[in-house]
Amino acid sequence: MRDGLAMWLAPMYVLTIVLLSGCQGRSESQGSATIDLQGKNPKGLLGDYYKPVEAKVEAKAPPYRLPLKKSDLCNPQHASLDDAAWAALLANGFVVVPYGRTEDIVSIYEHRREDDKPIFVTTDTVLHLYHIQFDETLKSIEERDFHPRMVQFSEAMLKASQQDCGRLQGELKEVARRNVAYFTVGLDLLTGETQASSEVRKEVGAELKLIEEHGGFDASPLFGYQEDYSQYVPRGHYTRSELLKRYFKGLMWYGRISMLLKGKTAQTSGLIDEKNARIQTLQACLIAAHLYAPGSKLAEDWNRIYGVTAFYVGAADDLTPYEYAEATKKVCGASFEWSKLASDETIHALRSELATYRSPEIYGGTGNIQVLPPFTPEQLDKALEDTKGMRLMGQRFIPDSYMFQQLCIPAVQGFTGTGTPFTLSQGPGGPVRGFVRGLDVMAVMGSERALAILKEEGDTAYAGYDDQLGKLRKQFAAFTPQESNRNLYWSWLYALQALVQPCGKGYPSFMQTEAWQDRSLWAALASWSELRHDTILYAKQSYALAGAAPPGVQPPPPPPSYVEPAPEFYARLLALARMTRSGLTAMDVLDEQGQQRLTDLEEIISKLLSISLQELRNEKLSEEDYGYINSIAHRLEAAVLGVEELGLKTTVVADVHTDGNSQQCLEEGVGYVHALYACYPVPDGRIAVAAGPVLSQYEFKQPMANRLTDEAWRERLQTQPPKEAAWTASFVVK
């Protein structure tokens, strides 16, 4: 396994590139350029917005013996369950049951309070609430700022490329022509209105046709290598308006299309021939020159979009325009003639310099690379080197895709087990681990229960899997809290990591069961699915090669409501919410309503943290605290004020991995809200039962040419939902 972890927070830089020639007409020298690197942009230090929250407690909640009897409960009439669900509730101290086709996580709280029944505030609730804030703030920024900015950026780059066509000669003229085609495609996708000029109409029309058909892998008419056009189907929140659909396709083009560095020769491998690799390298150099010309707004636009999205998702996994400009200055000096740049000697030196720069860590499908057995991690390294190049707004390195890349073919080799586990895919050389699972992510983050399930279901029975998993676990365990919170994506995973750890002594008895570990895994996987849904445009996807009281008797007081006591989780989520608000505010992209919603979210999480600490210390809550819990529905609704109904639904889906052997993708979906009933200790000695909402989660395969939108997923849930994972039977009763 390559040690590429240092590049995960690739810094951004500010450059000035001065074009000394005019942009009109032709000159014999074809113009010259001066490059002035002005140092690092402080936006590279995104993790500085993270401030930890402490949540230390000596847990001493009163224990009770399992299995329970119904007579042990002070309010069994408040649990509307059938016999099978009652049996599970008494056996484990909790149970999860379906709750109809509910897509609003607040509704269970409302129904319970209307019926004067105690409620159980779940961690799922605040996880879903954070997802809403994350998704809505990003959507708002994209609509208000990023889409018009990218249109202006594309128009300016197209104009500059057209001017290059008029002033450059020979090979450089062809380089400029291809850039005209590249930006024409991007602008057409963003606006739907661009007309291609005659010199690029053929390639542009062919590219747009493949994008609209989104059938899967096909040769790019403009760049030559195989591209996965199925990725251009707008998904996530990008289906909610025509503007967002256009933004999705335009940014997907700028995020996926790579100007490759290597060409195939008798001595070297590559995805394109040497001539085209040379042209694509020069394309990237020309773009970098225009991007940072003094007096140009282009660098400001690029830095604005890249910086904010890096705060949400992370740094690009591929080389950026900065690195191409840096290499150009090193090879050509501070000032140079464009004709010199295009010389054989300079091109060789420039590509040699760029070859020493970081390579991508995630294979994103470029070239539809195939490998022959015996499969080795070195084959993955070679594939990553062959896809090295510049992506203008490259998709981002995310840790879970990196995990996936290291846990499937070719980093993990042939199947050594029996049967047909979920991860198995039939390759030309036999069965391989072409698929991965969300449980792999949780296992890397330290969940022994996730690993046990993977083993029980045959998904670890591959040569090299144990070694790869061990290396990944060691790498991730070595990160400090600051490193684990380098951006919002990482910080979200860091909060989930706390959720999947076993609860120790002193926690309520139902939380010490293996079934509760499974339930917590389900919640974490559902929240992770929402994370992948929200970042689907920017995240780089991995590829694989009840009774009445007797008259005259005073009924006992109704039991109080309860908060799921998970203080470390609440502390991490609170730090994430604060980091979100402070970072977006500092970047000046958060509107007033978004700021208020995040402030409300922080207040809710902070209060739940305080209450859960008191519960674990077995302290009686104040009437004010109980009133807060009982009014949680109202507080949750206030925290999503202004969010349209579609933005509140739990039913979302995201494709997270593609298997080249089966031409299928891995889908992670969140379904209808389920109800969790739990038996918890009351400070006066009673054991009570209350209910609250939990997220449901599904993992299944789908043809890559038919990647699911949220709308298609909701239709499938109504007509033919996939089966829930077999391991959830330990706590879900239908």
- The per-residue DSSP string of 34-54 comes to EEEEEEEEGGG-GGGG-----
Phi first, then psi: what are they for 93, rounded to 5°?
A: 85, 0
- How far apart CA 703 and CA 726 sit, in angstroms, is 22
Examine residue 226 and state whether it is found in any structural domain, yes or no: yes
Identify the pLDDT of residue 44.
Answer: 45
Q: Which residue is associated with the tokens 């919640």?
A: 523
Is 26 a residue whose pLDDT tops 60?
A: no
Mean pLDDT, residues 357-382 taken together = 92
Identify the pLDDT of residue 549.
Answer: 41
Write the pLDDT tens digit of every residue in 321-330: 989 988 988 9
Q: Which residue is associated with the tokens 């699972």?
A: 437
Write the pLDDT tens digit of every residue in 592-612: 999 999 999 999 999 999 999
- How far apart CA 12 and CA 319 sit, in angstroms, is 11
Distance (Å) of CA 83 to CA 70, 80, 91, 408: 11, 10, 12, 43
Examine residue 23 and state whether it is found in any structural domain, yes or no: yes
Instruction: Give the total number of structural domains in the chain.
Output: 1
More confident residue, 299 or 110: 110
Q: At what angle do helices 567-586 and 123-141 cross, to 10 degrees?
A: 10
Is 245 a residue whose pLDDT tops 60?
A: yes
Identify the pLDDT of residue 17.
Answer: 42
Write the pLDDT tens digit of every residue in 615-640: 999 999 999 999 999 999 999 999 99
- The per-residue DSSP string of 349-395 comes to HHHHHHHTSPPPSS---TT----PSSP-HHHHHHHHHHT-EE-TTPP
Per cent of the chain over pLDDT 90 is 84
- How far apart CA 213 and CA 207 sit, in angstroms, is 10
Examine residue 182 and state whether it is found in any structural domain, yes or no: yes
Is 446 a residue whose pLDDT tops 90?
A: yes
**Is residue 37 very low, low, confident or very high in pLDDT (cuts 50, 70, 90)?**
low
Write the pLDDT tens digit of every residue in 695-724: 999 999 999 999 999 999 999 999 999 999
Write the pLDDT tens digit of every residue in 548-591: 344 554 556 678 999 999 999 999 999 999 999 999 999 999 99
Task: Decide: residue 319, CB within 10 A, 0-12 exposed, 13-18 middle, 19+ buried.
Answer: buried
Identify the pLDDT of residue 557.
Answer: 65
- The per-residue DSSP string of 678-692 comes to EEEE-TTS-EEEEEE
**What single-letter DSSP state applies at residue 708?**
P
Write out the residue range of the structural domain in which residue 191 sits. Answer: 5-44+134-313+320-357
Cβ 385 vs Cβ 367: under 8 Å: no
Buried b / exposed e along 675-711 (16+ C-beta atoms within 10 A) = bbbbbbbbeeebbbbbbbbbbbbbbbbbebbbbbbbe
Examine residue 271 and state whether it is found in any structural domain, yes or no: yes
Residue 703, preceding peptide bond in cis (omega within 30° of 0): no
Q: 702 - beta bridge partners?
A: 665
- How far apart CA 480 and CA 722 sit, in angstroms, is 38
By mean pLDDT, which of 240-254, 290-304, 355-369 is the weakest?
290-304
Question: Which of 57, 33, 7 is CA-nearest to residue 616?
Answer: 57
Identity of the amino acid at 644: E
Q: Which residue is associated with the tokens 């890249």?
A: 306
Kindly report the average pLDDT of the chain as a whole number: 91
Examine residue 387 and state whether it is found in any structural domain, yes or no: no
**Is residue 30 very low, low, confident or very high in pLDDT (cuts 50, 70, 90)?**
low
Task: Decide: residue 264, CB within 10 A, 0-12 exposed, 13-18 middle, 19+ buried.
Answer: middle
Query: By three-state DSSP, how is residue 473 classified?
Result: helix
More confident residue, 341 or 677: 677
**What does the block give as tokens for 708?**
């699911």
Q: 40 - beta bridge partners?
A: 13
Identify the pLDDT of residue 137.
Answer: 97
**Is residue 334 very low, low, confident or very high in pLDDT (cuts 50, 70, 90)?**
confident
Identify the pLDDT of residue 35.
Answer: 60
Cβ 488 vs Cβ 397: under 8 Å: no
Examine residue 505 and state whether it is found in any structural domain, yes or no: no
How many alpha carbons fall within 13 Å on the CB side of residue 77? 9
- How far apart CA 141 and CA 576 sit, in angstroms, is 19
Identity of the amino acid at 83: D
**What single-letter DSSP state applies at residue 222?**
T
Examine residue 301 and state whether it is found in any structural domain, yes or no: yes
Question: Which of 519, 450, 487, 511 is CA-nearest to residue 587?
Answer: 487
Question: Which of 132, 128, 124 is CA-nearest to residue 691?
Answer: 124
Identity of the amino acid at 587: M
Distance (Å) of CA 205 to CA 182, 188, 209, 211, 214: 11, 10, 6, 10, 14
Strand boundaries in 223-264, DSSP class E: 226-228, 259-260
Write the pLDDT tens digit of every residue in 497-548: 999 999 999 999 999 999 999 999 999 999 999 999 999 999 999 988 733 3
Question: Which of 283, 298, 215, 223 is CA-nearest to residue 253?
Answer: 223
Examine residue 70 and state whether it is found in any structural domain, yes or no: no
Give 3-state DSSP helix, strand, coil % of the chain, rounded to 5. Answer: 50, 15, 35
- How far apart CA 403 and CA 451 sit, in angstroms, is 14
**Is residue 339 very low, low, confident or very high in pLDDT (cuts 50, 70, 90)?**
confident
Give the total residue count for the chain.
734
